[in-house]
Amino acid sequence: MKKLQQILNNLMKCRSPQELIEEGSSSELKKTLNVFDLIVLGIGAVVGTGIFTIIGSAIVGSADGAGAGSAVVISMILAAIASLFSALSYSEIASMIPVAGSAYTYTYATMGEFMAWMVGWILMLEYAIGNITVASAWTGYFVQFMKGFKHILPSFIVNCPLWLRNDYRTMYEICNRFGWDVHDKMPFIHLPFGWEIPIAVNIPAIAIVLILTVLLIRGIKESTKVATIMVGVNMFIILSFIVVGAFYIKPENWVPFAPNGWEGIFTGAFIIFFAYIGFDAVSTAAEETKNPQRDLPVAIMGTLLICTILYVAAALVLTGIIPHKWIDTQAPLAHAMRFIGMNWYAGLISVGALCALTSVLLIYQLGTTRILFAMSRDHFLPNSLNTIHKKYKTPHVLTWVTGIAVALCALFMDLTISAELCNFGTFASFIIICIAVLILRKTEPDRPRPFKVPFCPWFPILGILTCLALMYCKFCAKATSALYFVIWLIIGLLIYALYGYKEKRREEK
């Protein structure tokens, strides 16, 4: 009985915010980021595929046609409000505890060792698994971009075999769609007893992940400069679409404004919510920020505000130049430009999409390594992983480990399932952050808060309820990914029980 009580005490053991802050202050990570850099990271993480693809699905809707239509602008504002509750909570706790690790670290300060481990494990769904999804999507845009140079580049590059630019699951889907024999399109290794292993190597995805891994090892400031260029190109493409498209707006295309009423508006808000995911990545760079108490809240809220304005403006132009029923859900902005006879500009859209996805990859990779860095520093993972590069002052071992893991997993993971798992991880971390704010208001009432959530506890509670409702909808609609989410939690529990708990106790002796 006494031993059981000791185990429970260890599971609930918290680290004080002051201890975490002191540890972060003495970190060897180089503090080079300012508020502009953080906003670039935030925009780079949020304005990815959302504005290039998901906006079309929110307008048109699913097979039953229950999309928002032109009222998607209201959907976007509703989704921004839903994100706002979690963003405010992130801002308060990030300014209080400006330490690497994001929700993992904040949980350690409020709910104890076990919950901290589980939240860190869940965050891998949002960052590492999300990175795998984006890396594979990057390949598709890259291939389309390269086809524009078919008269310049060698044919073996432009017409690269399908199995050298797709994972094997995608290869099977492509062959089934067109009625091809998969053995004619993809090589196999034949083994005894009739077994065979398909060979599919997504070379573009592997290449971009490894390139960004090397960049991150060189330093976060250098990585941020590249992200700034990517975000700059992306913003130029989107803003020019808004400015050019504004001259082709026909107000009659906005009628009816909400073809499916409030049902369509809420459906659109549900879809668009995922376009806001990523602003929390700002908090993972806390230990590399010059003035985190001031800059982190500004960057988080600034990211949300700027992205909302961009989304609303782009949606107004898109629905104004083309009737909502004719909008292409796969490439809405490019299709709209072709609709008004500007085919040359449609090619620029692919450049913007590539830049957007590259910045998302870079920032998700950064978030993954910084969370694992915090977990390794707390002795849940081998200490050798948190080694800092002597010259570049970056966690180079962890960066290589995560980069290689993402590159390998991009070969065989089901992209639909990985995207859903990413969403589950995000919602779970948002809920934890809102709860952490409520706990710290009780346990650390006198601790300085450079930023405070207004109308507390109501805003954090609304954040919790919003995410729970969306998770419930996803559990009901996506039984397969929901099952995988539960399996992921069980795997994390086993790793903690068989390794993390014992390793932590060994370090305490």
- Kindly state the tokens that stand for 206: 């592997």
pLDDT higher at 61 or 294: 294
Specify the pLDDT at position 140: 72
**Fold for domain 34-167+202-508?**
Amino acid/polyamine transporter I (1.20.1740)
Is residue 128 scored above 90 in pLDDT?
no
Encode pLDDT of 439-475 as tens digits: 989 888 888 888 899 988 999 999 999 888 877 765 6
Over range 61-83, report the average pLDDT.
79
Q: What is the mean pLDDT of residues 265-294?
A: 79
pLDDT on residue 414:
61
Q: Is 32 exposed, middle or buried (0-12, 13-18, 19+ CB in 10 A)?
A: middle
pLDDT digits over 156-213, tens only?
666 777 767 766 667 776 777 677 877 777 777 777 777 777 777 788 888 888 998 9
Residues composing the chain: 509
Domain ranges of the chain: 34-167+202-508
Q: What is the pTM of this model?
A: 0.79
DSSP per residue, 138-172:
HHHHHHHHHHTTTTTS-HHHHT--GGGSS-HHHHH
Is the model's pLDDT at 64 over the cut of 70? no
- Half-sphere exposure (Cβ direction) of 131: Cα atoms closer than 13 Å: 30
pLDDT at 462: 92
- Tell the residue number behind the tokens 């830049």, with chain if given: 355
Whole-number mean pLDDT of the chain?
80
Which pLDDT tens digit goes with each residue over 323-337?
Answer: 887 887 666 887 788
Q: What is the pLDDT of residue 458?
A: 93
